[in-house]
Structure 1
Amino acid sequence: MTVKPYPLQFQPEMKERIWGGRALEGFGLTLPEGSIGEGWMIGDHPNGTTKVMNGELAGTGLDVIRETYGREWFGSQGFSEKNGRFPLLIKLLDCNDDLSIQVHPTDEYEGLPQGELGKTEMWYILDAKPGAKIIYGLKDGIDRAAMEAAISEGRIMDTLQEVSVEAGDAFYIPAGTVHALCSGVVVAEIQQNSDTTYRLYDYDRPGLDGQLRELHIEDSLNVIAYEGAGAQRMKTDGAAPSEWLTIATSPYFIVEKGIVEAPWQLATSAQSFVILVIAEGQGSLKWAEGELAVKAGECFLLPATLGSYELSGSMTVLRSVVPSS
């Protein structure tokens, strides 16, 4: 069966986390019971594979779409032979409590689980309570020996930088950057398709099973970029209507912010699929074969072969593509 390309919307996979809450209901998402910390909006991973919920391919997993249409629909840069998965993972995060102090490895780390990639990511702050903050990198002068000493002496928090955040802030978090989201923020996360996290510290709190969660001290010490990995942050309120503002650039993704106030004519390219995350507001997504009403909290995968499309309404949109290698 030949299916014409169209914007794909997926049924999110919801993940209970000890630090989660119910804030994702504010986007009209249906949550299972419990403390829901992560909504995997577009995923092709053993720990979460999302299924299409609209159009001809409704009910089809992203893994099957990749196998059937990937070379054509994902673009010349978006189809990877490396581990046979879609290259990105798109999440919405509700941080009702502090996340663990953590770090992610690079693709080259020898300790990676079989089949896994490293994890470079970026955050866009969708909502933040007054006084909200994150952990973002190390204080100056912290090397491996200083970090080891701080861990053994129970003062790891003294080695970390705290940054105040508000809605609209963007953070680029290359692998090797020590980080943690803290309570009171809701975040859109665009990341490499990986689920490998090394925990340095978890506040000595029990997990969902009542047991202390595993720490990964040796792996963490091995992968931390003590001299910095190139982490960058920016305010994005300079975004202008019908213009893309680049808010994160990495070898794995380019993320841009756009403000939609009037009909905006756009197009995909043969190089990469496009992922659209509706960060605020509502409007419509129109292409040659149809139109979808869209609103905050929704995410769409546009095949590289879709061609021309139009955004209209009143909304803030994040656009992600895979860059040239």
Structure 2
Amino acid sequence: MKSYPLKFQPEFKERVWGGRALEQFGFELPPGRPIGEGWMIGDHPNGTTKVVNGELAGLGLDEVRERHGKAFFGAKGYSEKTGRFPLLLKLLDCQDDLSVQVHPNDLYDRLPEGELGKTEMWYILDAKPGAKIIYGLRPDITRETLAEAIQNNRIMDCMQEVPVAAGDSFYIPAGTVHALCSGVLVAEIQQNSDTTYRLYDYDRPGLDGKPRDLHIEDSLNVIAYEGSGATRMTTELERSNEWLQLAASPYFIVEKGRLETEWSLAANSESFTLLVVCDGTGTLHWGEHKLALRTGDCFLLPAGSSEYRLSGEATLLRSYIP
């Protein structure tokens, strides 16, 4: 069959730190529950999204992968380790602070079977006044000083806090200690992994009323004490219809663009493209077909698709495999 842009039904995840802010995008959330994560495009044992448009409607991303393989996703569109779709795209609603955490890389010998490491990036969609995140350790912190601080309940003395505003971008390689804090709405692009090691969780109970597990030894093992290559930037765009690179890793490239006039683009021949509408409205055109764009929408554009066009006024993120 001929490929076409795919839109998916998100999978919503209840989190102790979540809320209801994703409803502003028109999503129907499970009633009465704090929803922290919308898995927008995913192919993971803990969440696989289903296509909602066109001939493939009703199929999971895993089924599309199995049926259409490289014809849809390109030669680079697979994890060499797991055979699955290599990325996971989320929207996060942080009404409370997330745990202080760190992710392993692909080489960590205690990774759960079938899992990847987790390098990710955040784009801040919205932030309340005074919002902040935890982004890395203080420069003088070693494994020994961090372990001692944990033992003496002084772990927060080791953290770097960074104020955030809408439009800020953060690249978070595996090994970077980090935490989103309350009052931010975030688009997250990451390796297709659900492995998180918690260092600290504010001594609060989980959704079941019991303390959430910490993973101190694994965390101390995987932290990049000499620096992970994390970078951040304020993403002001000088011109419309041009892409600004926000993050570059071996796993993904993420770029930001501002749509103000009709914009003709070509799909990558070796990789799918993920498209996120950060704000605004518009239309995605390909051939004689079209799809409406609105804030919060996420699309998968298959590799090697014919030229497509965007029209309207919107801020967009796109991601692909380098």
Quick check: 287-296 or 90-99, which moved more? 287-296
Considering only aligned residues, what root-mean-square deviation do their CA atoms show, in Å?
Answer: 0.7
Which residue number corresponds to residue 48 of structure 2? Answer: 49
Is residue 82 of structure 2 the alignment partner of residue 74 of structure 1?
A: no
Tell me if the contact between 2:237 and 2:257 (Cα under 8 Å) persists in the aligned partners.
no
Which residue number corresponds to residue 294 of structure 1? Answer: 293
Which residue number corresponds to residue 175 of structure 1? Answer: 174
Which residue number corresponds to residue 259 of structure 2? Answer: 260
Question: Counterpart amino acid of 1:95?
Answer: C
Question: Counterpart amino acid of 1:12?
Answer: P
TM-score where L is the length of structure 1: 0.98
Question: Counterpart amino acid of 1:279?
Answer: C
Partner Cα separation in structure 2 for residue 268 and residue 290 of structure 1: 16
Tell me if the contact between 2:81 and 2:116 (Cα under 8 Å) persists in the aligned partners.
no
Is residue 13 of structure 2 the alignment partner of residue 15 of structure 1?
A: yes
Partner Cα separation in structure 1 for residue 318 and residue 36 of structure 2: 23
Partner Cα separation in structure 1 for residue 317 and residue 124 of structure 2: 12
1:271 aligned counterpart, secondary structure: coil
Which residue number corresponds to residue 129 of structure 1? Answer: 128
Runs of 4+ off more than 6 Å: none
Identity of paired residues, percent? 69
Partner Cα separation in structure 1 for residue 300 and residue 119 of structure 2: 20
1:56 aligned counterpart, secondary structure: helix
Which residue number corresponds to residue 205 of structure 1? Answer: 204
Which residue number corresponds to residue 27 of structure 1? Answer: 25
Partner Cα separation in structure 1 for residue 196 and residue 238 of structure 2: 32
* Residue segments in structure 1 that go unaligned for 5+ positions in a row: none
Matches within 5 A, 1:78-227: 78-227=77-226
Report the alpha carbon displacement of residue 270 of structure 1 after superposing the two structures with TM. 1.4
TM-score where L is the length of structure 2: 0.99
Quick check: 76-85 or 62-71, which moved more? 76-85
Tell me if the contact between 1:239 and 1:257 (Cα under 8 Å) persists in the aligned partners.
no
Q: Deviations over 1:32-70 (max 9, x none)?
A: 020000000000000000000011100000000111112
Which residue number corresponds to residue 244 of structure 1? Answer: 243
Q: Deviations over 1:176-212 (max 9, x none)?
A: 0000000000000000000000000000000000000
Quick check: 204-213 or 303-312, which moved more? 303-312
Partner Cα separation in structure 2 for residue 70 and residue 289 of structure 1: 25
Q: Deviations over 1:65-103 (max 9, x none)?
A: 111112111112113342021000000000000000000
Tell me if the contact between 1:177 and 1:229 (Cα under 8 Å) persists in the aligned partners.
yes
Report the alpha carbon displacement of residue 238 of structure 1 after superposing the two structures with TM. 2.8
Partner Cα separation in structure 2 for residue 81 and residue 19 of structure 1: 33
Partner Cα separation in structure 2 for residue 161 and residue 121 of structure 1: 18
2:23 aligned counterpart, secondary structure: helix
Is residue 42 of structure 2 the alignment partner of residue 5 of structure 1?
A: no
Report the alpha carbon displacement of residue 154 of structure 1 after superposing the two structures with TM. 0.1
2:311 aligned counterpart, secondary structure: strand
Q: Deviations over 1:216-249 (max 9, x none)?
A: 0000000000011000000001352000000011
2:55 aligned counterpart, secondary structure: coil
Tell me if the contact between 2:284 and 2:293 (Cα under 8 Å) persists in the aligned partners.
yes
Question: Counterpart amino acid of 2:21?
Answer: A
Tell me if the contact between 1:239 and 1:245 (Cα under 8 Å) persists in the aligned partners.
no
Partner Cα separation in structure 2 for residue 182 and residue 80 of structure 1: 31
Partner Cα separation in structure 1 for residue 129 and residue 80 of structure 2: 44
Tell me if the contact between 1:239 and 1:258 (Cα under 8 Å) persists in the aligned partners.
no
Question: Counterpart amino acid of 1:8?
Answer: L
1:310 aligned counterpart, secondary structure: strand
2:174 aligned counterpart, secondary structure: coil
Partner Cα separation in structure 1 for residue 82 and residue 238 of structure 2: 36
Which residue number corresponds to residue 321 of structure 2? Answer: 322
Q: Deviations over 1:133-179 (max 9, x none)?
A: 00000001100000000000000000000000000000000000000
Relative to 1, partners in 2 of residues 1:239 and 1:254: Cα closer, same or farther, differing over 3 Å? farther
Aligned residue-pair number: 321
* Residue segments in structure 2 that go unaligned for 5+ positions in a row: none
2:56 aligned counterpart, secondary structure: coil
Partner Cα separation in structure 2 for residue 170 and residue 311 of structure 1: 23
Partner Cα separation in structure 2 for residue 81 and residue 141 of structure 1: 37
Question: Counterpart amino acid of 1:76?
Answer: A
2:54 aligned counterpart, secondary structure: coil
Question: Counterpart amino acid of 1:199?
Answer: R
Report the alpha carbon displacement of residue 122 of structure 1 after superposing the two structures with TM. 0.1
Partner Cα separation in structure 2 for residue 9 and residue 54 of structure 1: 6
Question: Counterpart amino acid of 2:199?
Answer: L
